[in-house]
Amino acid sequence: MPDPQKVESLLVADIGSVTTKVALVDVVNHQHRLLSLGVSATTARSPEANVLAGVCDAIRQIEARTGRQLLTADRQLITPERSTLQGVDAFVACTSAPAPLRVAIVGVSRELSITSALRAINSAHATAVATFALDESIGRWVPVTLPPSPDSDSQTPRTVLEDPMVLAAETLARASVDVIVLVGGVDGGATAALLDLTNLVAGIVAARDEGARPPVIFAGNSAARAEVAQRIGQLTALRVVDNVCPAVDCENPLPLQHELEALYDEKKIKWLPGLTDLSNWTVLPIRSSAQAFQNVIRYLARRYGLRVLGVDLGGGATTIVAVKGEQTRTLLRADVGMGHHLADLLERVPLERWLEWLPIEMTDDEAHAYWLEHALYPRALPLTRQETYLLQAAARMALATAAQDLERDAWDLIVLSGGTFASNSNHGALALLALDALQPYGVFSLAVDSFGLVPAVGMLATLNAEAAASVLEQDSLVTLGPVIALQSRNREGQLDARVRLQPANSGPINLEVQHGSLELVPILSGQKAALEVRLSGSTTLPNARRGVFQAQVEGGALGVIIDARGRPITLPGDAEKRRTKIQQWYWDVGGEVAYG
């Protein structure tokens, strides 16, 4: 590995499930800066079935734009950089292209151990495809209708009574999974039920061909480890981590989450087609984009001492990272994204809820068809204003679905990343999208990842933190501005607050903020201002003292945003009024600009 301090020029790549991005970073005026970006389709599937093809395609774009040769004629990376300005010193990459781990959970209690295990699974690149909860599978036998047997004389279906435990175990046994997670019991508690489940898992594993046996992760009562190892260890690979639920009122999902992440690296990332060739270029192992994204959000939280929420709305998955002090919570929804998952999301979330966010009149079929086609062509850009509305409505649904398990909390900074937010100059519309989907409350800043490079920068940080910080702050993140999001029980049009903004070198700006309104205050980007919010009777804002909130804020690309629509945002029931209202909000944040 090259000395990180001597690494000047780099290529950083993020191989997503839909798009591959490669950025050239080099030293300009003693600082690492982003010089060029290449974007191509990810080529993990047929006809290419080799991610290297997409990476090379993106690198060739950089070569064409910068005139700098980076690849040899036979597609080998030139490294280290030559004196003739050819090649780069290092290459790092992260990926979210592989499918998530398919996980089966076996546990004693749905409310305790399984809930904790699900929390770990929803924080890693994994999806729970089967769950066996012992406490749910005990009960009365249930009638099950069976199709007639082909060799039977009677062709009428039969109804038989079945043991719910057998039905649940059968679903578990027949699921195609990458790993089985076994949980249950608090540390030092009874082990009988857990050992019965261990036998079930061992039986299912033993019944399969040796080459087809999934590994098992045990994250239950630590007192049962030896017996679990004795029953399962000789049948398949057994990994043991700390109990996800060591006590009734205590949860510990992190060790299981880390083990699942390690397994994702081993079983999915390493097997990505073309990764072996690409690994020859990299100075660090290729990691998951979610981990790289988490690196950046934690870095921002540590460096500035802020409570930071990061949202990466990708094509194949959505990652939400919440960092407060030393606490980090990651939510990774591998079934929610702006790619092919949209079609599934349309099945799960009623169409009416998607249509609610459209400011224009459109038939259900027309909108539905656009969203289904976007799932087929997830790289397709919105070409018209109508398509922008449709795509942003879909992004609202995806983001809101991914964030539904996020505790309502106050943040200092919200970072928005992902294809929907990248390369879109309509910052007002992006801010509105985030505010509608996440509905955050309080005073915080909004920043957008303008090139969709934050995960790749997170990977760069593991090699050279200083270079990553420079690229992140100077090239990648665009601050949209501080947001004052008020909460109140007032009616539409009633006074929520009086806001006074005193910029450093100009006169004060005084506003009376009415409930239901959304306003932009024109404070220049980077300009500091003293903010004072005087709240009316029922209006609240975190950290307000005796109804007054005071802080120093700095204007962003949109100035200062005041969101007095309340939480949760209530949309008018009448369709026409609702469309008018949403259109008004688009106008209010400058998200309704005619381009092209």
Q: Which of residues 155-214 bind another protein (CB under 8 A)?
A: 163, 165-166, 169-170, 172-174, 195-196, 198-200, 202-204, 206-209, 212
Greatest Cα-to-Cα distance within the chain, rounded to the nearest angstrom: 92
Q: Minimum distance from CB of 203 to another protein (Å)? A: 4
Q: What is the DSSP string of 239-277?
A: EE---S-SBTTB---HHHHHHHHHHHIIIIITTSTTHHH
Chain positions 414 to 453 lying near another protein, rule: CB under 8 A, are: 423-426, 429
Q: What is the CA radius of gyration of the chain?
A: 26
Among 423, 340, 428, 354, smallest CA distance to 391 is for 354
Name which of residues 62 to 81 contact another protein (CB under 8 A). 63-67
In the complex with another protein, which residue's Cβ is closer, 33 or 379? Answer: 379
Measured between alpha carbons, how far is 325 from 171 in angstroms, rounded to an integer? 42
Q: Minimum CB separation from another protein for residue 100, in Å? A: 10
Residue 309 or residue 477: which is nearer to another protein going by CB? Answer: 477
Q: Nearest 5 degrees, angle CA 545-CA 550-CA 554?
A: 155
Site for another protein in 477-536 (CB under 8 A): none
Among 129, 343, 410, 524, binds another protein (CB under 8 A): 343
Shortest separation between residue 5's beta carbon and another protein, angstroms: 32
Q: Which is nearer to another protein, 348 or 577 (CB)?
A: 348
Q: Does 108 bind another protein (CB under 8 A)?
A: no
- C-alpha to C-alpha distance for 373 and 563, rounded to whole angstroms: 33
Rounded to whole angstroms, the Cα distance separating 260 from 256 reads: 6
Which CB sits closer to another protein, 441 or 586?
A: 586
Task: Choose one: 33-41, 295-303, 305-313, 506-514; the region binding another protein (CB under 8 A).
Answer: 33-41
Helix (H, G, I), strand (E, B) or coil at 450: coil
Place of tokens 């501005």: 481
Beta strand 308-313 with 318-324: parallel, antiparallel or unpaired? Answer: antiparallel
CB–CB of 332/318 below 8 Å?
A: yes
Shortest Å distance, C-beta 217 to another protein:
18
Which residue, chain included where needed, has tokens 């699974």?
Answer: 121
Q: How many CB atoms lie within 10 A of CB 258?
A: 15
Chain position carrying tokens 């406490």: 135
What's the min distance (Å) between Cβ of 370 and another protein? 8
Give, as ranges, the residues between 132 and 151 that touch another protein (CB under 8 A).
150
Q: Single out the residue of 15, 50, 52, 54 in contact with another protein (rule: CB under 8 A).
A: 54
- What span, in angstroms and rounded, lies between the C-alpha atoms of 514 and 492? 7
* Cis peptide preceding 147, ω within 30 of 0: no
| Given 270, 368, 500, 528, the residue binding another protein (CB under 8 A) | 368
Q: Are strands 509-514 and 442-449 parallel, antiparallel or unpaired?
A: unpaired
Which ranges in 67-130 belong to alpha helices (H)?
A: 115-121
> What's the closest the beta carbon of residue 426 comes to another protein, in angstroms?
3
Q: Is 47 in the site for another protein (CB under 8 A)?
A: yes
**Shortest gap between Cβ of 339 and another protein (angstroms)?**
9
Under the binding rule (CB under 8 A), the answer on residue 86 touching another protein is: no
User: Which of 294, 388, 476, 539 is close enough to bind another protein by CB under 8 A?
Assistant: 388
CA atoms within 13 A of residue 332's CA, in its CB half-sphere: 27
Chosen residue from 28, 144, 381, 504 binding another protein by CB under 8 A: 381
Tell me: does residue 231 bind another protein (CB under 8 A). yes
Site string for another protein, 248-287 (x = CB under 8 A): ----------------------------------------
Residue 40 within binding range of another protein, rule CB under 8 A: yes
